[in-house]
Structure 1
Amino acid sequence: MDEMESIATDQRDDPHTHFDYCCGVATEVLKFGSLHLRSEHKVLFLIIPGNPGVVGFYKTFMQTLHSMFEYRHPVWAVSHAGHCQPPAPMDMVEDADSAAEGDPFGLNGQIQHKLVFIRKHVPRETSLVLVGHSIGCYIILEIIKRDPELKVLKALMLFPTIERMALSPQGKLMTPLLCNFRFIAYLPLFLLSLLPEGLKARLIRAALGSIPSLDQFVVQPTVGLLSGDCAANAMYMGAQEMRKVLERDNTTIRNNLDKLIFYYGATDHWCPVQYYHDIKQDLPNGDFRLCEHGYRHAFVLDAGQEVAKMVVEWIRRDLDMKT
């Protein structure tokens, strides 16, 4: 690819979807901008999703980031292992025995999955702007802790579930369901997966019909989630979140305080406002912000563009200094 073609590729605002095996599990990567990083790419935005870890949910958010920085920086999102249905004839797992041994669908496996992806696809000299949503924020803290040599320029924590998940209002409701009764949901999920794609899409639109400004981009990724084992893998990961996301990692946060921005919801049942007040009290020098706009925890449903615009304003100066 010559220089002019390279520039044109970076400036196209069309998303590119790529499936590959990472840690032996089918992984979907959604990319705005360059498909491969080159020496001129000083910064990569990398989205670490919540649960379900379906990259298609973040399309509007990513497109807004990419365009507001005038297409200068690639914006990628990497799915959670096993949360996106791979295209035929690609299997969900490359080697069933290795997958069973490594537990790639569990929370620790998902953290390792992201570390391997970064090491494989991101040059060490590239600066990262990590954007985490929900459990993606916990994963980012673990990434930073396990690989302190990574060049993380900023890490943006959106609606962060980084502590006491089972004790949150939503956690109290979901913990027994995810940890003890999730298998009951497998049969209806299997039956849903047999429905025609068009009917599944209509059912999803009906289920989300109470959201007046629903982002239509989220419908098709939700259809994919209802196929095969994706929803079951998401529930399995969720059960581990309830058991393992306990105490906040103040040490890692304190050691990286200058890189971190936290954004808490004012009505977030996964991460109540008390958690915002607690972290501000424990780490008074940190950058902790409370939502003033009424955005829901699952902001991608109807506010992806608005949240992306906020993120751009938070970090524009840091990126201008870097580039």
Structure 2
Amino acid sequence: MDGLDERPALADHLPPDDGPTGYEVWSVGGHLTEVLHIPATQPGPVRNVLVFIPGNPGIIGYYHDYLETLHRLSGGNIEVFGCTYPGQSQYLANHEQRVLSLDEQVQHKIAFYDAVSRRVDAHERAGRAAGLGEVAARPRVFLAGHSLGTYVILQLLKHRPTARIDKILALFPTLHSLAKTPMGRQMSWVVMPGVRHTVYAAIAGLRSLVPVEYLRAIVAAVTGHKGRALGVTSRLVHPHSAASSLYLGACEMAQIREMQHDVIERHADKFMFYYGSVDDWCPTSHYDEMRDTYPESKTHLCEHRVPHAFVIEHSELIAEQTAKWLQPFLLQ
């Protein structure tokens, strides 16, 4: 049964001053899973729950600032759950013996959603015990995903068509024609078997030659990342993490092709799409198509030239936008 693992082993590649503050470890679909859980702080039964699915490389740590800010802007009136993809844990010793395919990662996220749903059921029982009516006792459930996470959400909806979900937030969504996008064409060669195996070997050599305490400085110089994003990226420089991310990228290029209109049509009135105006993973033509095809959805184009990887420098801005969208739907 999915649940908490009370004494997980910490990853051996963590710098000594780092640690799993704010994270829980769940067993999800047979995988030890790093979960960011931000409880609701308003008194009484939990009224609102947000489930967040990251994009590739699938590390929830990149979204920590975004989700904390969203939680704060909601007045603490929302419980937040987000998970790291198996094979990409920043705080656990690596228990994965192989990299997982996109289909396997989707099955893991479905199991994660099911685990959170059991929590929602418990909140509903608590609400009824507190005297709330049958309808009012049920928390509102919001799904949110970024990039690949939006495609994963479509797969989740396909496998859980009767799930009670109130709103779905798709941030910088990669829902179709991925290999044909400007960035997809650039990256397609990187995820080819021979090239990606060369990358694994190079990273393994780098880690064997460079002490962990110097790695952060090198990553900062190369990427320009700062703060929490720098810490996450520094830990991403690991052979297994690179293998997981690049193999998943290869799966994305091969599988994210046709728009899944059947799934979107069933939930069109629940979707809020947010496209970037300078995003080479999902160009503005994708925004135009979604806006014209599904007028009942809320489809927005970013006015602030925020890049696809918004979590590096624009977490607060996107959290503010997300909070504005969600506020009318939150139960008080």
Same fold? TM cut 0.5: yes
Q: Helix, strand or coil: the match of 1:191?
A: helix
Q: 2:59–2:90: 8 Å Cα contact kept in structure 1? A: no
- Aligned equivalents of 1:15 and 1:274: distance in 2? 41
Q: Does 1:296 align with 2:307?
A: yes
Q: How does 1:103-114 map to 2 (within 5 A)?
A: 105-114=100-109
Q: 1:26–1:82: 8 Å Cα contact kept in structure 2? A: no
Match of 1:206 in 2: 221
Q: 2:306–2:314: 8 Å Cα contact kept in structure 1? A: yes
Q: 2:51–2:113: 8 Å Cα contact kept in structure 1? A: no
TM-score computed with the length of structure 1 as normaliser: 0.84
Match of 2:153 in 1: 140
Q: Helix, strand or coil: the match of 1:84?
A: coil
- Aligned equivalents of 2:271 and 2:199: distance in 1? 37
Task: Tell me which moved more, 175-184 or 132-141.
Answer: 175-184
CA RMSD of superposed structures (Å): 2.2
CA shift, 1:279, in A, is 1.9
CA shift, 1:86, in A, is 4.5
**From 81, 92, 98, the counterpart of 1:76:** 81
Q: Does 1:193 align with 2:198?
A: no
Q: Does 1:61 align with 2:75?
A: no
Rate the CA distance shift 1:58–1:310 in 2: closer, same or farther, 3 A.
same
Task: Summarize deviations over 1:270-306 as a string: whole Å, max 9, x none.
Answer: 0111111122222233211111101000000000011
Letter in 1 for 2:243: A
Letter in 1 for 2:235: G
Letter in 2 for 1:162: L
CA shift, 1:23, in A, is 2.6
Letter in 2 for 1:187: A
Task: Summarize deviations over 1:251-280 as a string: whole Å, max 9, x none.
Answer: 111110111100000010001111111222
Match of 2:134 in 1: none
* Percent identity over paired residues: 29
Match of 1:11 in 2: none
CA shift, 1:15, in A, is 5.8
CA shift, 1:249, in A, is 0.8
Rate the CA distance shift 1:15–1:287 in 2: closer, same or farther, 3 A.
farther
**From 272, 278, 296, the counterpart of 1:261:** 272
Q: Give ranges in structure 1 of 5+ residues lacking alignment.
A: 1-13
Match of 1:285 in 2: 296
- Aligned equivalents of 2:296 and 2:36: distance in 1? 35
**From 9, 23, 29, the counterpart of 2:35:** 29
Q: 2:90–2:232: 8 Å Cα contact kept in structure 1? A: no
Q: Give ranges in structure 2 of 5+ residues lacking alignment.
A: 1-19, 122-138
- Aligned equivalents of 2:67 and 2:81: distance in 1? 8
Q: Does 1:156 align with 2:169?
A: yes
Q: Helix, strand or coil: the match of 1:267?
A: coil
- Aligned equivalents of 1:247 and 1:193: distance in 2? 39
Q: Helix, strand or coil: the match of 1:177?
A: coil
Rate the CA distance shift 1:23–1:191 in 2: closer, same or farther, 3 A.
farther
- Aligned equivalents of 1:178 and 1:203: distance in 2? 23
- Runs of 4+ displaced beyond 6 Å: none
Q: 2:179–2:185: 8 Å Cα contact kept in structure 1? A: yes
Number of matched pairs: 292
CA shift, 1:191, in A, is 2.0
Letter in 1 for 2:65: T
